[in-house]
Amino acid sequence: MAGRIEARLQELGISLPQPVPAMANYRTWQRTGNLVYVSGMIPLKCKAPTYCGQLGGTISSEEGIMAARLCGLNLIGQVREACDGDLDRVVKVVKLTGMVNSTPHFREQHKIMNGCSDLMVEVFGEDIGRHARAAFGCASLPFGAAVEADGIFEVK
């Protein structure tokens, strides 16, 4: 029987991507105690980078928000793997950090990261999904991705 969060994903019409393995000498997630640290996820769809470019340049804010949402889906997919397939074990989305590939004059990184933050609340609900967050701009990201996000999740 599907758990509460899996049922919520189905209700929202959301299919989580298969977790992508690490592309270098690191782990995609690391559990210590009751915390799961998920490495930076870029907007991968079918294991291919999407939404490549810079905000304030070749990527619109709407596309940036969708890129951040896709990063969030990849984060949740990694957490599901860390929880042996049971997202009901997530107690709290503790913190998200977002890096936004942006031009020097782009000033709305925080709005772009709402794509990821809003997804966490949509999926896990207000009590579990609301989190601390940081969002900042950078000159480039791996594979030219527009956004990268990592996260810390409390699990049982």
In this structure, what CATH number is given to the domain that contains residue 123? 3.30.1330.40
User: 23 in a domain, yes or no?
Assistant: no
User: 49 in a domain, yes or no?
Assistant: yes
For tokens 């989580």, name the residue: 16
User: 85 in a domain, yes or no?
Assistant: yes
User: 40 in a domain, yes or no?
Assistant: yes
Dump pLDDT digits (tens) for 43-84.
Answer: 998 888 899 999 999 999 999 999 999 999 999 999 999 999
Closest Cα partner for 129 from 9, 31, 25? 9
pLDDT for the residue 71: 98
Q: Do strands 48-49 and 132-138 pair parallel, antiparallel, or not at all (unpaired)?
A: unpaired
Q: Which two tokens stand for residue 112?
A: 């772009």
User: 128 in a domain, yes or no?
Assistant: yes
Going by pLDDT thresholds of 50, 70 and 90, the confidence category of residue 36 is very high
For tokens 């579990």, name the residue: 128
User: 56 in a domain, yes or no?
Assistant: yes
| Overall number of domains in the chain | 1
pTM of this structure: 0.96
Domain that holds residue 58: 4-18+28-155
Residue 1 has pLDDT above 70, yes or no: no
Reduced to 3 states (helix: H, G, I; strand: E, B; else coil), residue 117 is helix
CA 37, CA 111: separation in Å to the nearest integer? 23
State mean pLDDT over 93-118.
Answer: 98
